[in-house]
Amino acid sequence: MRGRRCNCGVGSAVHRFCAGDGSLILLPRSVRIHVATAPTNLRKSFEGLSNEVRGVLQGDPLSGHVFIFINRRKTQVKMLMWTRGGFTILHKRLERGRFTFPSAVRLDVASVEIDAHELAMLLEGLTLAAQPGARRWQPAVRTTELRRSPLGGASEQQHPDL
């Protein structure tokens, strides 16, 4: 959306994606967005989609991450996420056209992870170009735990299982 000003009224540093019509989805940077590669029966609601996350995607629906499911015809999308106090489902149906994915998406994996800007493009029905992006640094899983010492300070101790 280069050269186009957002009319949502929220500063660009605050929001991750704006649909361009003023509607807005706020996602913290820590939230990951997983898209199921296999078609899903979108008649499912909270429990059914939660079971899909656990069984097919091998994920935790209570993690706070966003899980996206697409129907067989690729005309509808459902997003499931856990927010404070309960599940949220967003459902979008394209009146014309189909949702598309990059050709690099492999069907031998249960899901692919996308960025917030790719989510915005997906929800607008735009084609996600299969261009290699810059590799982003992600911190490694921490192998030490912070433990409180009897004197009130925190000290790092190596986890006994590692």
For strands 24-25 and 144-148, give the pairing: unpaired
Q: Whole-model pTM above 0.85?
A: no
pLDDT at site 13: 42
pLDDT at site 143: 52
Helix (H) or strand (E) holding 145: strand 144-148
State yes or no: pLDDT of 123 exceeds 90: no
pLDDT at site 15: 42
Best CA proximity match to 33, nearest among 2, 6, 69, 65? 65
pLDDT at site 134: 57
Instruction: Convert the pLDDT of each residue in 10-64 to its tens digit.
Output: 444 434 444 455 556 777 788 899 999 889 999 999 999 999 999 988 999 999 9
State yes or no: pLDDT of 73 exceeds 50: yes
48, HSE (Cβ side, Cα atoms, 13 Å): 10
pLDDT at site 16: 45
Q: Could you give the CA distance from residue 37 to residue 40 in angstroms, rounded to a whole number?
A: 9
